[in-house]
Structure 1
């Protein structure tokens, strides 16, 4: 097939075998060629924006406002607590062991001890503007690191600049003590004095007027509570050397 130019300047395809002119094939109309004439994708994008755009913007605006409100709440609350804390200046209470009295103390078969420990604690609130509430108070008696017995102190409230005497009693019958610790105890008894330790764990809350602090765990350690307990006098003993200040942490 060859191209020939006719009299009117129009190029036609002529068959090389028959010599007859053929009309050029009409190109296929593609769908993508007519879509722009129908308004696509402009029309489609316009409709899509109208449907999804405002909803998406409202959701983003809500998230932004929520985060701003949440951050503002924490900042304001923290600032108020910090200012109140600076104004009131809460101080932790002070614990002092005033007296320790041991009665009916005995060592049984080199592995068990018995006795009664009567302890008086002086609890002082040094705060001028804050009261203290003591909830659960658990006290434990130790010989060095050996647990002997435990008891519970009733809850109480304490006013500002107040001192409260708290009496607690530890009673034990045939409590097991490790052989090594008991040998050390007998050696110290031979010297005339034996030291004990007391630990107090208490949930406390500071308050002043309408303001209430959250409950906090108070840890009290009363060390070196030496009593005059000797081998010759194994029934009764008292605290030696006067009062003992305790370590208090919160």
Structure 2
């Protein structure tokens, strides 16, 4: 076996490194695994969310209970009217001429059960026998605060021998011919009212009927010219017509 060291003519090899191997095959990628589908199981709500829902439910329930109570307490109520006293003087009835003269002195008590102030304007009072108006007059405007009671003094005069129809004459004579000599008159009160605390600035009509106000003449004869309210108890009145009936609590 020979060695290159012993070869007198050694062979010298020259050249470049062999070029790198290139392949047209794409490199292999790791396999694609799609994400799992969403689970139908929802995680339970957190304690904070549960507390908020319970608090909202409690607030809604309290509002539902509070609104009707506040509405009932603050809702305006119709005032209470009564004839506390009534006297008639100078009562002269001419049956043949169908003429009447008299002077009615009335005290009307008005009580407000409301919490807010009430205003009364264009107040009128009238005295009737049956459905016939004997006298009518305007009264002063007034207002009432919380729970106030006001006494309206009205003097209604039938002067100049007012003509009355035959039914009125016969009815009064029949009433005075009874044992107590009491004649039943009717009192009417009409007014515009305003409830600024509850119903804004609108005005509403109020019509009050005080029927069967019995005036007892002293001697129980047709000659008596003076009489006063029969009994000591006030005659309560009724509000028969009010355009606030849908929103007021009619007592």
TM tier relative to shorter chain: 0.5 to 0.7
Paired residues of 1:95 and 1:123 also in contact (CA < 8 A): yes
What SS does the corresponding residue of 2:78 show, helix, strand or coil? coil
Residue 228 of structure 1 corresponds to 216
The aligned length equals: 167
Question: Which one of 182, 196, 207 corresponds to residue 219 of structure 1?
Answer: 207
Is structure 2 residue 199 aligned with structure 1 residue 195?
no
Deviation at 1:110, TM superposition (A): 4.1
Report which structure shows greater RCO (CA 8 Å, sep ≥6).
2
RMSD: 2.1
- Higher share in strand: 1
State the alpha-carbon separation in 1 of the partners of residues 216 and 99 from structure 2: 20
What TM-score results when the alignment is normalised by the length of structure 1? 0.62
Deviation at 1:84, TM superposition (A): 8.5
State the alpha-carbon separation in 1 of the partners of residues 170 and 74 from structure 2: 51
Q: Whose radius of gyration is greater, 1 or 2?
A: 2
| Structure 1 unpaired stretches of 5+ | 1-81
Question: Which one of 190, 197, 202 corresponds to residue 208 of structure 1?
Answer: 197
Residue 90 of structure 2 corresponds to 104
Paired residues of 2:112 and 2:149 also in contact (CA < 8 A): yes
Give runs of aligned pairs for residues 1-250 of structure 1, distance below 5 A. Answer: 88-108=74-94, 109-127=96-114, 129-173=115-159, 174-191=161-178, 192-208=181-197, 212-229=200-217, 230-231=220-221, 234-241=224-231, 242-248=233-239, 249-250=241-242
What SS does the corresponding residue of 2:174 show, helix, strand or coil? helix
- Residues 217 and 122 (structure 1 numbering): CA distance in 2 closer, same or farther, change over 3 Å? same
| Structure 2 unpaired stretches of 5+ | 1-67, 243-251
State the alpha-carbon separation in 1 of the partners of residues 175 and 73 from structure 2: 50
- Higher share in helix: 1
